[in-house]
Each structure stands twice: as C-alpha cells, then as structure tokens.
Structure 1
Amino acid sequence: MDIATLKKAFGSDMTLVDLTHALTPQIPVWPTHPFFCKEVIESYDRGDLACNHFLGMSEHTGTHFDAPLHFVKGAAGIDAVHLQTFFGRMAKIDARDCTPREAVSVRRIKAFEAAHGEIDAGDAVLFHFGWDRFWHNPADHPRFLSDWPGLSRGACEYLLNRGIRIAGSDCLSLDCFGSTDFPAHKLLLSAGVLIGENFARLGDVPAFSFLITLPLPIAGGSGSPLRAVAAFAANGQSNTAAALA
C-alpha cells in the first residue's frame, strides 16, 4: 500500500490524522509499569559530534498495541504478527456518553452499524470514550488513571464473530477500570486480535477511515509503542472497503 493507492481511494484531498500521543517523561502509565525515561547520552551543548538519547519504557508505554503474548502464555509476540494486520479499515465508535466504569454493550455496536454500516471481517474497531482529554495536563492524570469505561464480554464476543483484527480505545485499558476477569484481554488476545490502548484524537476521524499502524518488532515482545495514523477523504466520507478491494 503506497500513497498513490491511498490517494486513489480517498481523492487528492486525503486527510491524515495522527492518533499517537507524544512520549514525554510526564505521560501517565499503568501503575506497575515504569515511567517513560529520556536521558542525554551525547549533546551538542557538551561538545559532542552528534545528539543521542537513552530511552527507558515499558512495551506498553503511550499509544501502543498489546500482542497476544501479553495475556496468553506461548502466544505470538508483537514481532510475529503479520504485517497486513497493521493496515486496513477502521471503524470509530463514539462512546463519549459512557458512564465511568461502564462496559460497552452489544447494543451500542449494533446502533453504530445501523447508522454507519456493518463492521466487516478484517476491520479495526476503535472506541472513542474521550479519555484522551485527561492525558496532557498532569493535574488530570488521576482522572485518566481511574474509572475509565471498556468493553463487556458480550461486546468482545460480538466483535470476534465479526472477524475484526484490532480493537482499541483512548483509555489506559480496553477492559473497564477495576476489572478482575479482563474479558477483553483474555478473549480478544486469545483469538489473535490485537488490542490498542491510549489512542489520541479519535474525535477527529469519521466513522470509517483507513488505519496505518507501525509498532516496533520487539523480539518476543508482549506489545509495543506505535505510531498510528488515520487516513480519509477531507470531506469525512470514506469508501475504503470498495476502493481498496
């Protein structure tokens, strides 16, 4: 897939939206994970020939994918995921009206399909809870790190029956805050469906777009930070299923 093909699908006025949070030492992280760390190794100010930084982080830092290995012993690491998985149509479901800790039901997904069209096999499905509004200001991080909504077991089973390849959201986890059985992680990852977390700016993309994601090929990695971009026609209308067939 190249830019010429994407422009053929979306027109010369193709819009690209970066769905990735920038990595800084201030970003929120899962309570048991290390903070993102960036240290100067070489610096022009110190008279070095080049600029170079040391990075320290979890595989699940910032906008990232969970690989099946994250919850399934012996399953595929992020480096073993087929490259085609990282490119394809994305459905964005607006779920900003969810209450804290609410588990998204099948009814909400069916309502999206009734309004915008069915989710197809091979789609990525991202839920826009609006949680990224708590990401940037450290004063809001306690809100980002608690009470987020997620997916119910029934919603996960419905999406699996649709044959999706990726499920994700703009929250710290795809399972509701306080979940002890982790239905999203256990069901989806067991089926080889990648989970995406901490996405940004989902409110800036239409119901359907083309998702481009590039995680790092960490050998045996349980996940990876990634760069995620949505592509769509500037008028917000996407016909990726037909144009890219």
Structure 2
Amino acid sequence: MTDSTLTTSLWEGLQSILEGRRFVDLTHAFHPGQPRFAAFPDEEREALFDIERGDGFSAHRYLIVGQWGTHVDPPSHFIRGGRTLDEIPVEEMILPLVVLDITSRVAGNPDATPTLEDVRNWESRNGAIPEGSFVALRTGWSHRWPDADAMANRDKDGLSHTPGWSLEVLSFLINERSVAAVGHEQTDTDPGLATSRQDFSLETYVLEQDRWQIELLANLDGLPEAGAAVVASWPKPQGGSGFPARVFAIC
C-alpha cells in the first residue's frame, strides 16, 4: 500500500465519521474594547495596507496581550519552568469533551461554583469522565459578552460576582480522572469574589499540575454533556505564555 493510498484511506475514514456531525464554534471574535483583565491594555490594531484605501492587499498589525479574548493559558503562564505554548503537543489539541453544567444555579446565584455532587450526577448519567478529557464549565456567562460591566458584575463595593471553579472539583478531575485541560466561559478560573481580593489560587493549581486551560469560551449551551469532541488550537510562539485560541466542538 502506497503512502497516497494510506492518506486517502485516512481522509475517507474521517469523512465518514464527520458526515452529518454538528460543528460548534466555541470562540469569541476578539476586538478592541472587549472585556479583559483589568491590568491588561486594550488591543491596538492598525491597517498597514488596506484594499479599501487602494492598496494591492490588506494587512493588519495587532498589538495584544497573549491572554486576549478566547485564549489558552499554558502552565508557564503562572508556573516557573512550566510548559510553554510551543511545548504542548498537537496530540493534546483534540480531546473528548465533557460539559459540566451549573447554569441553573448561576442564574440564581452568580457566585455559584461546581460541587462534587455535580460531578457524581454527571457520572451517574454518563459513566466515569474519560481520562485525557477537556472539561468545560457551562455557566451561561458568555451571554454577557462583550459587555465588560456585565461580565465583571461588580456590586456597589466593587466586588465582582462571577461563577468559577472549585478546588474540590478541580482536584478530583485532575487527580482522580486525569483530565488534560479545563475551560470556562468567564474571565477567570477563580470566582469573582476570589479575584476581587487578587486570589488566583485555582488557576495556579490547574497550571502547576501541568494542565492547560481555555478561558472565555462561547456557545457551550446546546452542547451535549458527553460524547462530543473538542478541538483547540493556537499559534506557536516560542516560549509563549498565552495566545488567542480557536476552539470548536464536534457533536
């Protein structure tokens, strides 16, 4: 069998698997003025060449912080000596997708976080969370995008009320189920009450376990809680500590 035959057979096999599947883009389109971490500057964008101005082609220069819009955080974002973006292999970029849904609780309490009971209920319906999964926390928070005030949801005292992860769930997912990565709709891993006091211990925990994460996911509603795959990819800056990502689900 020739290499070309093998290639054709692989593609034909993929076509048969993907035929009739639903593709869901989980990525916000980034732009100047969007919600961002308070210490980060806004995006600057310049058209160096522009067809509309009569140039022969269009080319833009983007000045952005790596953690911009829907983005990937590798371990090196918080951890000295942690893996950088170019050190995460492409084999980790297509994973089983697990959706942990706490939307109904968040609707009544924006400070809600997932519990081990949520995980046990998920597993009672679907079986054990697969090793090497990407676990996405569905909160409904992405519907607030791109309203920065709504995303931060601060009270009169300046405290942010947003959902986030919990240590008990992250510890279980990483230590008991060996998941590869996590993701969420809100700006931070930690809930807003924690980030308001500059507590990013949950994000630190995830990254120090040599896992990576995606922040500011979109369109998680409507995804099945089990059985789908997620594809997450990003540019490959040498030594990169974060970058906008393109993420989508195949259902």
Q: TM-score, normalised by structure 1?
A: 0.87
What residue number does 1:51 align with? 58
Where structure 2 has 5 or more consecutive residues not aligned to the other structure, the ranges are 1-6, 154-160
- Comparing both structures, which one devotes a greater share of its residues to strand? 1
Match of residue 110 from structure 2: 100
Summarize the alignment of residues 87-236 of structure 1 with structure 2, pairs less than 5 Å apart. 87-96=94-103, 97-98=105-106, 99-136=109-146, 138=147, 141-146=148-153, 147-160=161-174, 161-179=176-194, 180-208=198-226, 209-232=228-251
User: How far does residue 193 in structure 1 lie from its aligned partner after superposition?
Assistant: 1.0
Report the number of matched residues. 228
| CA deviation profile, 1:78-135 (whole Å, cap 9, x unmatched) | 1111111111111011111232222322121111111233211100000110011100
CA distance in 1, matches of 2:126, 2:46: 46
Q: Which residue type is aligned with residue 229 of structure 1?
A: F
- Deviation for aligned residue 1:58: 1.1
Write the distance in 2 (CA, Å) between the matches of 1:204 and 1:77: 32
When residues 67 and 53 of structure 1 are mapped into structure 2, their CA distance, relative to the original with a 3 A threshold, is: same
What secondary structure is seen at the aligned counterpart in 2 of 1:143? Answer: helix
Name the Cα RMSD after superposition. Answer: 1.8
Mark the CA change 1:219 to 1:70 in structure 2 (over 3 Å): closer, same or farther. same
Identity %: 24
| Matched residue type, 1:21 | H
1:42 counterpart (28, 49, 58): 49
Matched residue, 1:242:
none
Query: What does residue 4 of structure 2 align with?
Result: none
Q: C-alpha distance in 1, partners of 2:126/2:42?
A: 39
C-alpha contact (below 8 Å) 1:165/1:193 kept by paired residues: yes
Kindly provide the CA deviation profile for residues 1-26 of structure 1, in whole angstroms up to 9, marking residues without a partner as x.
9764444445x211100000011213
Q: Which runs of 5+ in 1 are unaligned?
A: 233-245
Give the match's secondary structure for 1:178: helix
